[in-house]
Structure 1
Amino acid sequence: MNYNKYISGIIVSLVLFPVSLFSQVEGLILDETSRRKFDYFFYEAVNAKTLGKYAESFDLLQHCYSMDSTNASVLIELGAYYSSLEEKNKALDFFRRAVKQDPANYYYNMILAGLSKELDLKEEVIEIYNYLLKTYPEKVELYFELANVYGDNGELDKAIQSLDSLQKYTGVSDAITLNKFRLYNMMDKKDRAFEEIQSVIDKNPDNIRYKLLMGDLYLQDNQADKALDYYQQVKQIAPDEPSLILSMVNYYEKTNNKPAAVEELQKAITSSKMEVETKLQLLARYITLLRQSQQDIKTANPLFQSMFEQHPNNTRINMMYGDVLLLQEDKKGAMEQFEIYTKDNPADPAGYEQMLRIVLPDTQALEKVVEITLTGIEHIPTAPQFYFYLGLAKFQQKKYGEALSIYEQGLANAEFQSPVIESDFYGQIGDIHHFLKNNDTAFENYEKALKLNPQNLPVLNNYSYYLSLERKSLDKAEQMSGITIKAEPTNPTYLDTYGWILFEQGAYTMAKIYIEKAIEYGKEDLTAEVLEHYGDVLAVTGEKEKAVEQWKKAKELGSGSKTLNKKIKRKEYIKE
């Protein structure tokens, strides 16, 4: 078995645990010579694992195991390997034996508990945690783990008891309080759940966090009047508390008082007492409220002006304002805001991406696309998106050589977070080579694209269509094209390609069905190519007058077909 293949995700953190070869309470007693050999092979195994040589490490551990099958350190390491190889029951046996040899070892017990939990052995997990708590009462995480497993096992009273023990040891904390609240709710003891938080409030009467928490929980429980009572208590102590403002906004939304929610947000945003980050959060919430209540988003614009006056050097405000102006369809104003942001944050791709979002749909703005992407590449040379759109702009400008060079630069310099994006680069390179009449090279790049992403639909479509134009590998072309129409059964381009491949295979009746579907779904934007294909299939199926009608439509749309005029004149299909 190739262990390196399977163990790349092994629990290498085991190496960091305090490992002692002599930590077991009982085990095989080796003579001094054997012990030295054992120690040597074990440390070699640990070093090999640290270096990522997992197969070598595994073999060395097996050798150690043959020398001493009771050594806890070897057992725990082998168990980790078997766990990574998805041999969970075998791993469980090794972990159990390791704990038996070294029962007081905290880490070994936690590893055993983790796998037991994964295998849904709840009683064993409970037993392990209870044992560990007797030995390590200071380990806070054990109380939470025990409470969680009791909860999963339906023993909610015991889960609460575990948290009570922790609270005695550490004092009150948000995590304990919220967990107990959740457990009491699961037990359908709602009053007891709220009493739990009230008891914390009584002990900390000036701590507004717990009063806000109580209000928020009452609001979630649809007890808005009680929630408001706690919010008003907080308001008496800290009227400008940002969390209170957010809670009040939630309250007004819950009670369907959107105008009051908007007013609360406006007041907070214009306040000079609040941090800019909190204001940005409130602004985002304010805009969401405006959209939900179908109010004019331009209402937010004066608030942004107020923010600019208070925080003139914070360009995150410009970024958010640009987004809001886009919602208002003010592309020019949005572009100005994004330009301010990118000038101040040249290494952040977000500003360039938003500018591209504005200009990409405009086929007359190719030079602006070039300008934005070149600047993006200058400051973030590892970002693939800027090479992609720069290459696309050059392609649309019919500067195929430049486009090809840009995509190749992108493959050499960009950092691809996903093979899907890299696949698109090879797809574009394939398309460029097709336009340059280098079909063999185009097909080679399509193959590279599909190796990275077998579901790259544009590549599957183009590759299969260009194969059909050359009338070769038609079975392969049909298979690839079939994937596209299965994925997008109403895409007219994909339907036309599939229909044309069927036509080249001589399946004229089926070809007609798919090309007619392409016309049906693409009737708003029919191309000369699709109409000519339809004419071709009508001609070979005996509908010559209708064929001529489609060919004439194709001619009106500017078809570049070399045989179209002859088809119209002779009223018959002619191969190119």
Structure 2
Amino acid sequence: MKNYLWLIALLTLQLGACTVANHPTDRAPSDNAQPKQAEAEKPAIPSRPFSADSFHDLLVAEFAVRRNQFDVALGHYVHQAHQTRDPGVTARATRLAQYIKAQNAALDMAQLWAELEPDSAEAQYTTATLLAQNKQPLQALEHMERVLNAGGATNFTAIVASSLNMPKLSQQLVASAIDGLISRHPQYGQLYVSRAIMEQSHNKPSQALASVRKGIALDNTDLQAVIIETRLLQQMGRDDEAFVRLEAIQQQYPDNRRLRLQYARLLLKKDLNKAREQFEYLLASTPNEADLLMSLALINTELNDYPQAKQYFKRALATNTRNNEALYYLAQIAEREDLLDEAIARYQAISLGDDYIAASNRMAELYSQQGDDDAALAMLQQRRQQHPELALRFYLLEAELLFNSQHYEQCHALLTEALNLHPEQGNLLYMRSLVSERRNDFALMEQDLRSIITQDPQNVTALNALGYVLANRGVRLEEAFELINQALSLKPNDPAILDSLGWVEFKRGNYARAVTLLEKAYAAFPDPEVASHLGEVLWTLNKQEQAQQIWQQGLEKNPGNPIIESTMQRLLNNSGNSELTTAAPPANSSP
């Protein structure tokens, strides 16, 4: 009985302390210190009597906390908070619920705590924060205003930021509530900054800039407001003004990491070497921060300082947080240094995630560059079998490799196999249509393209491709014209579609319109095929000199291009001109 009474006394002291102590939320809410004998001159810790049942529950909760059985403890605290309505018990329950991320219980307890202690800035602030996290910004603003009235530190900006992904009506209600707060507290700068955040998210940068500057004028110590101001200036294209402002404030507060980080990011647009200095300064105090290591690695890569870049990427790897990204960039550097085996090994080490497919594709291309298509295909097939959920993407990578290496029959068989597993899949159908064209199987090509259009009548790529194939073969030209026009209506001024339309107009005998369309396409996209088409139309219009200039321009950019050379040879031979069978780039042009 004596020990039991001692525990009761201990618990009474601890519960009383809960009403006056601010327990940290970044560690477990346990009281490990043994109670000290109260000194006579110190005021007694406030306490209140509890029923035997409540004492028993609270005692169980306290021992559960000591054994790290936080869920058990929380259940007892929540029950007793409602039973006793004691502020100390409720505060303790709130903090424990926050610590173990029991969001529903935390909000329940915080609201009860705010009700029991309406003048407590901590209770009101905690409730406001949890309400904002629970997508209840209007109620959160009410509690945060009570914090303001109590003279506590507020965070209206966080509540506003939490509402930005909510429906439009909810955002309008929050904006209206902020305006109401400003009318009641016109000298409180943070409210104007909060309004600026809303205005910025609604793409009103000028209004947002005026609001945030009003907030800064009322409170020039609000560094978050300065960061928002500089971001707005950047958004408005006033980079120089943003730079001067941020440079000045950063010098005023050299130890503020957020300001220095924002300054470093702004320097990325102006001076990479100075940006590197700022990131190195930041890294000095947190040498294992992965984001800073990656930033420095990328800056050094951009500066072509590959040895330094590789050191930072390897240090980032050691943090085990952004491994795939670091490995991918290390592989890219190895490629630039022509260390293809090292690049393949880096890509190979990338695990399943965002970079996995891209890494697989690069590996296949590197194997192919080394003349080992078999190794590339084996790797892609193995990964396809290992990851059935990615099979479709690997089928397409394999097909692209076979297509580029001109293994059209093998590519056709692979795509047919894939389509048996993924019927009517648009990307597979389109890829097979390209292969069918090379195999001169125009019936299957048209069938696949029409299957895509049936599924997606507004598929611009399929509409343009089918129209172009018909035009190129000189068949069903009116149908080809309609298909290409439909594609152009969906994607106006697209140079590839303009080229197709110019080509079908040429086939229809509308040479003047064909030249206009092809010149427009060539100006936007000087592709060899467009050059070939434009040159042929000009040649047909007896503008041979202009035609040869276009072809030569194309060959300067794409030496030995077979499309241009075959067109030139056909037309020159047909004209009986035996002096020149292919156009050669000027003697001083690059090889």
TM value normalised by structure 2: 0.49
TM value normalised by structure 1: 0.50
